Structure 1
Amino acid sequence: MKIAIAGAGAMGSRIGLMLHRAGNEVILIDRWAAHIQMIRDHGLRANYNGEDIVEHMQIYSPEEIDAKHESVDLIVALTKSMGLREMFEEIKPIITENTYVLSLMNGLGHAEDLAEFVDRDHIILGVTMWTAAMEGPGKVKLFGTGNIELQNLAPAGATFTKDVVQIFDDAGLNATYSQNVKYSIWRKACVNGTLNGLCTILDTNITGVGTTSTAAEMVQTIINEFALVAAKEGIELDQTEVYEHITATYDPAGIGLHYPSMYQDLIKNQRLTEIDYINGAVAAKGKKYGISTPYCTFLTQLVHAKEEILGAK
């Protein structure tokens, strides 16, 4: 299968590298000029569960995608949420009526944006629990294990989606076909809505948050706000299960020593975050439905204040 990874940051590099190593034709698309040049000159370098590997892969900036490029079967959307529309506007030359798009992005509401570029029958929603970290341009750290859940947005996309599940699973990505991916997206949003913002504001990793005396109350309150809003959209979150799932990540023998993507964006690289598409989205939906979301609202404000202090761009 010919696959484009739209957004070749840490997670995009992981997905692209694993699909490439499994024999798929993969192109990476990213905006970071130094990252692009390093991969062109030296290949994509990865510490892959303790082993240093190099994979030589095609990579382009969105501006370089033009009519001379062949269409692709699948585009995996892994941009930052605020850059999704702009990315897809620029890569239109590789999108045809036969192209499918898979969103593995953090946050909520991406299907509506993607429906402006492909038919709803060609949209696949997904959620991943894999982790990855950028160590510099052209270099990523890939550790631990994870999984991916996929489901077609519309019934007509089922056959192709199941093909994608098989291809991803063959690449070692532990992919499964979901019967309720929207629930899983909200569940993952709870993970991001607690760990991303708290790690960023508290300047620590996941274990660091989990060891604080206030972690239980903070995490449970945020989960409750997500659950109240999700219920208005037909998703009934199991708050106890979600809480237990989040607390399991505190283990330093697992992913506890990981710094979430929001931390990497803001604290390490002074880049704007996706907070408006996670806690901010819940706060906005809460306002729409008349539900109070003080923790999500305050955490969104704190992250934006931190962005301003650090001069994030």
Structure 2
Amino acid sequence: MKIAIIGAGAMGCLFAARLALSGNTVRLIDVDSETLEAIRTRGVRLDMAGQVDQIRVPIGLAEQLREDIDLILMLTKGSATRAAIRAARHLIAPQTRVLTLQNGLGNAALIAEYVDTAYILQGITTIAADLRAPGVVHGNSQGTIQWWCCTGEEDPWMKKLHEVLIGAGLTSCPDSAVESRIWEKAAFNAALNGLCTLLDRAVGAVGEHAQGKDLIEEIVSECGSIAEQGGIAFDRPRVVASIDHAIRCQADHLPSMLQDRRAGRATEVESIHGALVSTARKHHLRVPVLETLYRLLAMGESGVA
């Protein structure tokens, strides 16, 4: 399969390496000059539980790519979705599908401004990855990829994508309830990523204190109320259990939001916390813990490029 991955951060590089190593034609797209130079010079270095691979993956700006593409995989921050898909719209041929595994809410709707909804797939991944330097990623293969077509209907093409992901050693889980999974992942990120970033601590540190556990449950509960008000099924115990698992098994992991904050980059606070708070306000719901967390995180964005 010919695949263009937009966003060469931790997840973009992880997917690029795994998909290229399994025989697919992969192209990375990014706009950061340091990232472009590093990957052009040294390729992508992926360390997955001690299995180290160094692989050359072509990278460039979207406008520099002029090939027929079967799949565009969106892995940018939510704040960059509209600009990224607009820059890559010349790559969208009649056979091209677009899969978003981005964090946050509303990414598929932004992509739909440029792509027919019938050709958009959306989902989440629970794979954890740390970006140690541009093009240098430490990750694991324990997580899953849950995804489905945005129309809610099963597309025969999905079988091909499932086989490609499995062939790359990734755990692909087509899931018709993907809308719920996206909301549950947003709650996971709102609680764990948000608190880790605010406290400047790795995942394990947040779960060491009773106050942290209480805050996590309150944030997840508020996110669930927002989802349910919009008619989305939301499993609170499953989200809390997922966070507990991350605290136990990925204690040293630095969430991407914290990695961005430490590096002086803009975070995903608007596409995660901001989107949740905005939706709550539309439904006239009170979410005091989530709103306070959002305001504190947004204050930390001041002056960030």
Cα drift, residue 61 of structure 1: 1.9
1:229 paired with 2:226, answer yes
1:6 paired with 2:6, answer yes
1:78-127 alpha-carbon deviations (Å, 9 max, x no partner): 01111111111111221123211000000011111011111110010111
Q: 1:22 corresponds to which letter in structure 2? A: S
CA distance in 2, matches of 1:188, 1:106: 8
CA distance in 2, matches of 1:157, 1:35: 36
Which sections of structure 1, spanning at least 5 residues, go unmatched? none
Q: Percent identity?
A: 33
Cα drift, residue 220 of structure 1: 1.0
Is the CA contact 1:107–1:189 (under 8 Å) kept in the aligned structure 2? yes
CA distance in 1, matches of 2:304, 2:62: 22
Cα drift, residue 144 of structure 1: 5.2
Is the CA contact 2:8–2:135 (under 8 Å) kept in the aligned structure 1? no
CA distance in 2, matches of 1:307, 1:3: 33
Q: 2:109 corresponds to which letter in structure 1? A: E
Question: What root-mean-square deviation, in Å, do the aligned CA atoms of Structure 1 and Structure 2 show?
Answer: 1.4
Is the CA contact 2:228–2:234 (under 8 Å) kept in the aligned structure 1? yes
1:142 paired with 2:139, answer yes
Cα drift, residue 301 of structure 1: 1.0
1:200 paired with 2:197, answer yes
CA distance in 2, matches of 1:188, 1:256: 18
1:88 paired with 2:80, answer no
Cα drift, residue 71 of structure 1: 2.2
CA distance in 2, matches of 1:156, 1:25: 28
When structure 1 is superposed on structure 2, of 157-166 and 25-34 the one drifting more is: 157-166
1:291 paired with 2:281, answer no
1:265 paired with 2:263, answer no
Cα drift, residue 52 of structure 1: 3.0
Partner of 1:211: 208
Q: What is the aligned counterpart of 1:240 among 231, 234, 237? A: 237
Q: What is the aligned counterpart of 2:250 among 247, 255, 273? A: 255
CA distance in 2, matches of 1:198, 1:155: 33
Q: 1:271 corresponds to which letter in structure 2? A: R
Partner of 1:18: 18
Is the CA contact 1:280–1:296 (under 8 Å) kept in the aligned structure 2? no
| SS in structure 2 at match of 1:37 | helix
1:30-56 alpha-carbon deviations (Å, 9 max, x no partner): 112122112212221222322332101
| SS in structure 1 at match of 2:18 | helix
Cα drift, residue 157 of structure 1: 5.5
1:103 paired with 2:100, answer yes
Partner of 2:28: 28
- State TM-score, norm by structure 1: 0.94
Q: Say if 1:289 and 1:155 are closer, same or farther in 2 by CA, change over 3 A.
A: closer
Which sections of structure 2, spanning at least 5 residues, go unmatched? none
Q: 1:18 corresponds to which letter in structure 2? A: R
Aligned length, in residue pairs:
305
Cα drift, residue 256 of structure 1: 1.8
Q: 2:214 corresponds to which letter in structure 1? A: E
Matches of residues 166-185 of structure 1 in structure 2 within 5 Å?
166-185=163-182
Partner of 2:130: 133
CA distance in 2, matches of 1:207, 1:82: 28
1:121-140 alpha-carbon deviations (Å, 9 max, x no partner): 00101110001111112222
Q: 2:205 corresponds to which letter in structure 1? A: G
Is the CA contact 2:190–2:273 (under 8 Å) kept in the aligned structure 1? yes
Is the CA contact 1:151–1:178 (under 8 Å) kept in the aligned structure 2? yes
Is the CA contact 2:9–2:134 (under 8 Å) kept in the aligned structure 1? no
Q: Say if 1:188 and 1:156 are closer, same or farther in 2 by CA, change over 3 A.
A: closer
